[in-house]
């Protein structure tokens, strides 16, 4: 059964447009309860800082209570914090209200199971199957209850600090921290301050509409300038829901998820603590694969989406993986991608090695890579489109063994994402532009 609403990271869309409505959200809660807690149970609900979070939170609360579930309201908290607290409160499921790196007028809903892991496709399909039915309303003596968890932020902060070596201090580091006016705006600066770092916060004043607006991991330019301007040791950028992290070195250069993944893998390899292969995605830079090869570290590629990286890590017995965008996975520390926990692991390596961020990522070359997004009227199945496959084959023949090409549909938006990577930047750009123009004409026809 094909999923109609769930993408690679839950359900996402424009607020007020189906499915991001109060009515749909209430039915979604009811459907999730039927699948994951048919006899009642407990659910935790958290959100980021979007103004629409209030509406969707209330709809979810009503749907779960009507279905006989007790609801724990966590308030604004990073997505991985909700995954952790789902386990800590022994809940049957956790729900996050967030559209991650999207603008404020979008929102989304994603689920964790009782172990704090994202749901497999098969379970999401079961939830969708119940969406055609009206929401459940049980009798009064079977209804659930709701309460706010005032300790949620402090509980998550303590967990984050527990993931670094005991006694580790960051007193020597001056950090610019950009929280994207999002879910981590309180947690991240406080955790880093507690560990002794000097903090210069930006993107930490949410108003419901400024999330991801010119800041955070999707717009790191302000962070790059600020790091140089205040002479910080490095900068840290999170996205709106706190599951991504990118960094900026002392010279103001952006350090992406591939480079951070290399840094962590190399440190673990030196310490003889690296388990299993490192897992990236089809989008991971070829430089990461080659640099890890120099260290005799096995590298595998999963489909795009941190859920698929997690699946491959578990299948292969690995612990470390991630995406170029900054979704980093340390499965010995967390069950899902956690921007703050990943940042703490990087900072631990820096503090213990007495080396700078730039020095630690220098051994990894970055091959020129061009990304072009094409907006389509509706979602396109790339694999079943012969004209698109022929266009890609022609471009691959031109590029030969000097690089690689990937065309994929976005899992959350009506976009086709074109990636061309190779040894020569001029050639890469030319091939990408030609291929994008060709596919644009095909999809417009």
CA 67 to chain centre: 30
Rounded distance, CA 262 to CA 392, Å?
30
DSSP annotation string for 195-263:
TT-EEEEES----SS-TTSS-STT-THHHHHHHHHTT-SEEEEE-TTS--EEEE-TTS-EE-HHHHHHH
Cis before residue 313, ω within 30 degrees of 0?
no
Convert 378-399 to b/e letters by CB count within 10 Å (16 or more is b): eebebeebeebeebbeebbeeb
Angle, alpha carbons 87-90-96 (nearest 5°): 55
Residue 116, by phi and psi: left (phi above 0), alpha (psi -120 to 50) or beta? left
Q: Which residues are catalytic?
A: 100
Helix (H, G, I), strand (E, B) or coil at 409: strand
Q: Which of 93, 115, 11 is nearest to 44 (CA)?
A: 93
Contact present, 365 and 117 (Cβ < 8 Å): no
Both tokens of 361, joined, read: 């990522």
Alpha helices, H only, 251-305 = 257-270, 286-294
How many CA within 13 A on the CB side of residue 334? 34
């Amino acid at each position: 059964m094909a999923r109609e609403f769930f993408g690679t990271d839950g359900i996402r869309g424009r607020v007020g447009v189906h499915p991001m409505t109060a009515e749909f959200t209430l039915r979604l809660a009811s459907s999730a309860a039927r699948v994951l807690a048919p006899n009642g149970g407990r659910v935790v609900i958290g959100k980021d800082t979007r103004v629409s979070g209030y509406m969707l939170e209330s709809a979810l609360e009503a749907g779960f209570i009507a279905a006989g579930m007790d609801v724990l309201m966590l308030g604004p908290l990073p997505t991985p914090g909700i995954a952790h607290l789902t386990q800590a409160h022994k809940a049957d499921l956790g729900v996050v209200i967030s559209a991650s790196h999207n603008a404020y007028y979008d929102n989304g809903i994603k689920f964790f199971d009782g172990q704090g892991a994202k749901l497999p496709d098969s379970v999401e399909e079961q939830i969708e199957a119940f969406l055609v039915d009206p929401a459940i309303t049980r009798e009064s003596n079977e209804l659930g209850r709701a309460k706010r968890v005032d300790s949620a932020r402090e509980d998550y902060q303590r967990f984050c600090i527990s993931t670094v070596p005991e006694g580790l201090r960051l007193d020597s580091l001056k950090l610019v921290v950009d929280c994207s006016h999002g879910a981590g705006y309180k947690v991240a600066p406080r955790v880093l301050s507690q560990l002794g770092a000097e903090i210069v916060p930006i993107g930490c004043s949410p108003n419901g509409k400024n999330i991801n607006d010119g800041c955070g991991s999707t717009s790191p330019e302000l962070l790059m300038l600020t790091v140089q301007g205040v002479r910080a040791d490095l900068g840290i950028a999170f996205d709106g829901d706190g599951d991504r992290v990118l960094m900026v070195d002392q010279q103001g250069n952006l350090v992406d998820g591939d480079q951070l993944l290399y840094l962590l893998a190399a440190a673990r390899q030196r310490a003889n603590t690296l388990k299993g292969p490192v897992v990236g995605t089809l989008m991971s830079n070829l430089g990461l694969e080659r640099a890890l090869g120099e260290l005799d570290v096995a590298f595998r590629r999963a489909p795009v989406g941190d859920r698929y990286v997690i699946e491959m890590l578990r299948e292969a017995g690995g612990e470390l993986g991630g995406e170029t965008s900054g979704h980093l996975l340390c499965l010995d520390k967390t069950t899902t991608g956690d921007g703050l926990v990943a940042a703490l692991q990087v900072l631990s390596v820096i503090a213990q090695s007495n080396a700078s961020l730039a020095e630690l990522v220098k051994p990894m070359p970055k091959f020129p890579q061009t990304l072009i997004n094409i907006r389509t009227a509706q979602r396109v199945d790339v694999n079943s489109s012969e004209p698109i496959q022929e266009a890609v084959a022609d471009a691959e023949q031109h590029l030969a063994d000097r690089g690689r090409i990937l065309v994929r549909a976005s899992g959350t938006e009506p976009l086709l994402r074109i990636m061309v990577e190779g040894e020569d930047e001029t050639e890469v750009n030319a091939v990408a532009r030609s291929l994008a123009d060709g596919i644009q004409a095909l999809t417009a026809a």
